[in-house]
Amino acid sequence: MKSSLKLLVGVVLIILTPELKGQGTAFTYQGRLNDGASPATGVYDVKFAIYDAAMSGAAVSSALTNTAIGVTNGLFTTTLDFGNVFNGVNRWLEIAVRTNGVAPFVTLSPRQLLTPAPYAVYAANAGTAITATTANNVGSLNSANIAQLNVLGNSSQATGSPVVTSGFITGANVTYGGSGYVTPPFVTVSDSTGSNAVITANISGGAVVSFNVLNAGHGYSSGATLIVGLPPSTASQTFSGINNFSGVNTMTNPNNTFVGSFYGNGAGLTNVPASGVAAWQIVPGTTLQAQPNAGYLLTNNSQVTVALPVAPNLGDVVRVSGGGAGGWKLTPNAGQTIFMEDVLGVGWKQRSPESGVSAIASSADGTKLVAGGYEVQIYASSDSGATWTVQTNSPTKTWDAIASSADGTKLVAVGRTSPSPSSTLYASTDSGTMWTARATVTNAQFICSSADGVKLAAIFDGRIHTSPNSGVTWVSQNRTNCYLLASSADGTKLVTAVFSETSTTLYTSTDSGMSWEPRATTPAGYWYSVCSSADGTKLAAVGDGQVYTSSDSGVSWVAQINILNAAAIASSADGAKLIIGCDGGPIHISNDSGFTWTPQIASPVADFVISSTDGRRLIAKRGASYLYTYLSQATSSVSGYLLGGPKTAAELQYIGGGQFMLIDRVGSLRVY
């Protein structure tokens, strides 16, 4: 026999024979045997033994070996009698199989926990059961301490009769189809002499309509009877005590109603009310420990402090609503943070090293900044503009353009002595401490750098120039009348705007500026700003107040929102987050590549903006005025908190790693 023989446990039933009047200890076992991945067919010897544990343990019966059991399409039936071994304690059945005396037995794994049917043997002996001495206490059982069942179902059991020919089951007839069947029931043949017949049922419309004889068995008498399994109960049941349902319970009737409280994380619930999974709880006090998946209406006229759930599960939600006059403060626990976007823009802070900022550049993470003004030395900051240091080894110039590598170490700046148009290009490889003159240029307008600081592109005298070696040498390209410039992170994909007497046109290059393709034209208009994602596939531009985006490196463009006075645009590395500076209006932010926009009503006016690669740190300035920086805020310890005033509300979701994210709000909120 192949060692791959195994019992398919999921379809095994243990069925008590119906002759209860002459009750013995035998019962009928019906199972399914697979040979590898396929149902077995043939004659097999099967050995059975009863154990007191699922693994190891002790045998509580002698082993039974039933020889020459016929198996057809994996199905077989046999009779087992272990004597009085069922005393109410869990029992496990171990099975071993071999091919009709040819090979050694192969023990199947795991052992099977016996279903209640053999315990009918134990119940039938209740008159002499070991606990029968306490039977006089049965009067104490009543509706207060047992669950009540009110069974009035409309399903019914099917019946049938076998056709016996020369001891074999050659057919079976349906005498009553029954009702309420969802899956085909198991069918057994009961007879005092025959064995091993296997019969299956077919159902239609909830009733049994026919039988299939898969194994004719042998030795059956004319008195053989057919037993069809019961359909699932459709009874109306009332449970009045405390009832625990540990299995999977499926309720498909849409008219089900429940009275009382349900607890848990709400996983899998659908079609819940708009107010959410959990009902709102009214909180009149000033302190509260929030629980997962709960909403709290805070009614106190003093500020209410709400602590976030201590041990949330992924996806858990908590809601707070300030119904009182004092508002509320939502605090994280140790190791927790609250993350939210400052949609109002109240997080913008003035960070200028001095009032005249003419050029600014940033590292990829937005922490290292370098700036220049009018007839000054270069300033540098390593804390996102909070503090600035004069780079004493830098020359004193009027700075027209500055660019930075992603790590902020390689810098390039163009400075001149006003009012001369002649400029000197300087480079630094140590975040601005030391500077080296690289080239003399005229009318410098824009300069940009690859992420590694090696490939540079700039506009001098309206012509594109590129450098492959951090500005040591420069190549004049064939694109003239240019006035805007943006680059991919690797420096190969460039986009510029070209001016003519009738229009301005966007051009793109995929070979570091050696060749160019015309893309988008603004008739009788003007392109004000352009930006690129890190890979150069997502572009965005502002022209005459209209925002345009491209997702194919500029081949096609989509007109998005029209923003009055839009003057500058910047992008995160993935192109998903865009920022627009308005010369005469608030900054606008998009988190979906330009499809929707939110004005930051408390933000500064700006005609120049920069974004970090993750889109969280932003920089803005207007002309030669002050420089402003912005950080999408998050609390990082228990000292931080989310603050809401009266008539404000917030909904937060736990996203793992100790982080709660604000997913909905009403009114103005602040993070501290």
The structural domains of the chain, with segments of one domain joined by +, span: 5-133, 159-228, 280-340+637-671, 349-631
Full-prediction pTM beyond 0.75? no
Q: Please tell me the distance from the alpha carbon of residue 326 to that of residue 302, in angstroms, as a whole number.
A: 4
Q: Please tell me the distance from the alpha carbon of residue 594 to that of residue 580, in angstroms, as a whole number.
A: 10
Structure tokens at 82: 């272990």
Q: Is the pLDDT of residue 448 over 80?
A: yes
CB 628 within 8 A of CB 621: yes
Positive or negative torsion for Cα 163, 169, 171, 176? positive
The answer to whether domain 5-133 has CATH 2.60.40.10 is: yes
pLDDT band at 542 (very low <50, low <70, confident <90, very high): very high
Q: What pLDDT is attached to residue 116? A: 55
Structure tokens at 559: 């007109």
Q: Looking at per-residue confidence, does 94 or 2 come out higher?
A: 94
Phi and psi, residue 9, nearest 5°: -65, -30
Q: What pLDDT is attached to residue 150? A: 42
Q: Looking at per-residue confidence, does 360 or 1 come out higher?
A: 360
Query: 149, 154, 317, 347: which is closest to 241 by C-alpha?
Result: 149
pLDDT band at 272 (very low <50, low <70, confident <90, very high): low
**What's the whole-number mean pLDDT along residues 452-470?**
95
Q: Please tell me the distance from the alpha carbon of residue 272 to that of residue 123, in angstroms, as a whole number.
A: 45
Q: Is the pLDDT of residue 308 over 90?
A: yes
Alpha helix positions (H), 92-141:
119-124
What are the CA-CA distances from residue 51 to residues 30, 82, 89 (Å)?
Answer: 19, 11, 11
CB 294 within 8 A of CB 281: yes
Query: 614, 606, 464: which is closest to 533 by C-alpha?
Result: 614
Structure tokens at 309: 């759930």
**What's the whole-number mean pLDDT along residues 281-297?**
93
CB 660 within 8 A of CB 653: yes
Q: Looking at per-residue confidence, does 108 or 304 come out higher?
A: 304
For 349-631, the fitting CATH number among 1.20.1630.10, 2.130.10.10, 3.40.50.1370, 3.30.70.3270 is: 2.130.10.10
pLDDT band at 318 (very low <50, low <70, confident <90, very high): very high
CB 430 within 8 A of CB 409: yes
Same fold flag, 5-133 and 280-340+637-671: no
Q: What pLDDT is attached to residue 609? A: 94
Question: pLDDT tens for residues 361-417?
Answer: 999 999 999 999 888 999 999 988 888 999 999 999 999 999 999 999 999 999 998
For 280-340+637-671, the fitting CATH number among 3.40.50.300, 3.50.50.60, 2.40.37.10, 2.60.120.640 is: 2.60.120.640
What are the CA-CA distances from residue 660 to residues 124, 286, 301, 306, 331 (Å)?
Answer: 59, 22, 26, 14, 11
- Identity at 390, one-letter amino acid code: V
Among the residue ranges 245-254, 531-540, 575-584, the one predicted with the least confidence is 245-254
Percent of the chain with pLDDT over 90: 44
- Identity at 60, one-letter amino acid code: V
CA–CA–CA angle 253, 259, 264 (5° rounding): 85
Q: What pLDDT is attached to residue 521? A: 83
Q: What pLDDT is attached to residue 22? A: 43
Among the residue ranges 261-265, 462-466, 541-545, 550-554, the one predicted with the least confidence is 261-265
Longest dimension (CA), the chain: 120
Q: What pLDDT is attached to residue 8? A: 43
What are the CA-CA distances from residue 49 to residues 15, 43, 61, 114, 310 (Å)?
Answer: 17, 20, 6, 12, 50
Q: What pLDDT is attached to residue 17? A: 43
Q: Is the pLDDT of residue 582 over 50?
A: yes
Q: Please tell me the distance from the alpha carbon of residue 98 to that of residue 225, in angstroms, as a whole number.
A: 30
pLDDT band at 288 (very low <50, low <70, confident <90, very high): very high
Q: What pLDDT is attached to residue 50? A: 92
